[in-house]
């Protein structure tokens, strides 16, 4: 993808107050959430719909998680979309045989093509966790599966960008980098490769990343896991008109996850 049109300046990621009269999240989609981490995922989702959210992309992180993600997709068709993957934290701690078994189970689950399952993830690499070699081979196996199935990858990447860039060189598809918080050089690489970024909790910090305007067409918004936080970060995350429009975000979602939701994003 050409990058010659990138303007020199960046847009600071600021939040501004949301009107109390309008459902603040109307027309928006949560690109990466973990409903299954809540004691009652249905109560959580009802709250999201009440706030105006159109849909939620639910990330599965382990074999224990996947049946629950699958079930939510079936209860809320076109509103809950599922991603199935092995999180680097799980990969770091599992005995090798268990990690291999999880990969086998993931392959057979994906082969079932359950309705609503549209990506592989959450997967990736995280230098804060132990056993990087095992994280690496588990992640690479998931890259292979994504290529075979022509599915996008939902990627968690912390302090492992060098490995990430090298592994994804072999990947003919693209990735959605969730909880994105990297600098301008990585943003440039993402543009060059046609990947997507998903912005989350980092937007709430004063050190929020500067996002190049050229990334507006490759940007998604997510809550990730906000269980245990007093204020739902979505209140502010979804008020991002300085960066891009609701319509643009909806188009980005459809492109990133290769889905078609007629009428859902109007």
Which residues sit at the interface with Zn ion, rule CB under 5 A? 59, 122, 224
Torsion on CA atoms 165, 166, 170, 172, rounded to nearest 10: 10
22: left (phi over 0), alpha (psi -120 to 50) or beta: beta
Q: CB nearer to Zn ion: give 151 or 191.
A: 151
Is-contact 207 1, C-beta < 8 A? no
Torsion on CA atoms 53, 59, 65, 68, rounded to nearest 10: 30
CA distance 208 to 137: 32
CA distance 33 to 236: 16
Q: In the bound complex, what is the minimum distance in angstroms from residue 13's beta carbon to Zn ion? A: 20
Q: In the bound complex, what is the minimum distance in angstroms from residue 155's beta carbon to Zn ion? A: 10
Q: CB nearer to Zn ion: give 59 or 117.
A: 59
Q: In the bound complex, what is the minimum distance in angstroms from residue 219's beta carbon to Zn ion? A: 17
Q: In the bound complex, what is the minimum distance in angstroms from residue 61's beta carbon to Zn ion? A: 7
Q: How many helices (H) and strands (E) does the chain have?
A: 9, 8
Q: CB nearer to Zn ion: give 32 or 212.
A: 32
Q: In the bound complex, what is the minimum distance in angstroms from residue 122's beta carbon to Zn ion? A: 5
**Helix, strand or coil, per DSSP, at residue 153:** strand
* Cross-strand bridge partners of residue 158: 126
Q: In the bound complex, what is the minimum distance in angstroms from residue 32's beta carbon to Zn ion? A: 6
Q: CB nearer to Zn ion: give 65 or 122.
A: 122
Q: CB nearer to Zn ion: give 83 or 94.
A: 83
CA distance 139 to 80: 24
Q: CB nearer to Zn ion: give 163 or 224.
A: 224
């Amino acid at each position: 993808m050409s990058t010659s049109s990138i303007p020199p300046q960046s847009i600071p990621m600021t939040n501004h107050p949301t009107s109390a009269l309008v459902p603040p999240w109307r027309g928006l989609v949560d690109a990466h959430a973990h409903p299954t981490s809540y004691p009652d995922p249905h109560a959580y989702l009802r709250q999201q719909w009440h706030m105006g959210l159109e849909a939620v992309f639910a990330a599965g992180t382990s074999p224990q998680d996947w049946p629950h993600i699958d079930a939510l997709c079936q209860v809320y068709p076109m509103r809950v979309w599922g991603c199935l993957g092995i999180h680097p934290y799980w990969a770091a701690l599992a005995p090798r045989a268990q990690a291999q078994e999880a990969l086998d189970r993931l392959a057979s689950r994906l082969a079932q093509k359950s309705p609503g399952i549209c990506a592989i993830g959450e997967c990736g690499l995280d230098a804060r966790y132990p056993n990087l070699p095992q994280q690496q081979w588990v992640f690479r196996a998931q890259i292979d599966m994504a290529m075979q199935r022509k599915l996008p990858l939902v990627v968690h990447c912390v302090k492992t960008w060098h490995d990430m860039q090298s592994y994804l060189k072999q990947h003919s598809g693209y990735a959605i980098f969730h909880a994105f918080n990297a600098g301008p050089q990585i943003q440039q690489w993402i543009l060059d490769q046609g990947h997507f970024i998903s912005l989350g909790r980092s937007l709430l910090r004063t050190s929020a990343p500067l996002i190049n305007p050229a990334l507006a067409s490759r940007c998604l918004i997510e809550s990730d896991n906000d269980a245990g936080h007093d204020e739902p970060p979505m209140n502010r995350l979804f008020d991002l008109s300085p960066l891009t429009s609701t319509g643009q975000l909806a188009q980005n979602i459809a492109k990133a996850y290769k889905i078609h939701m007629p009428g859902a994003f109007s």
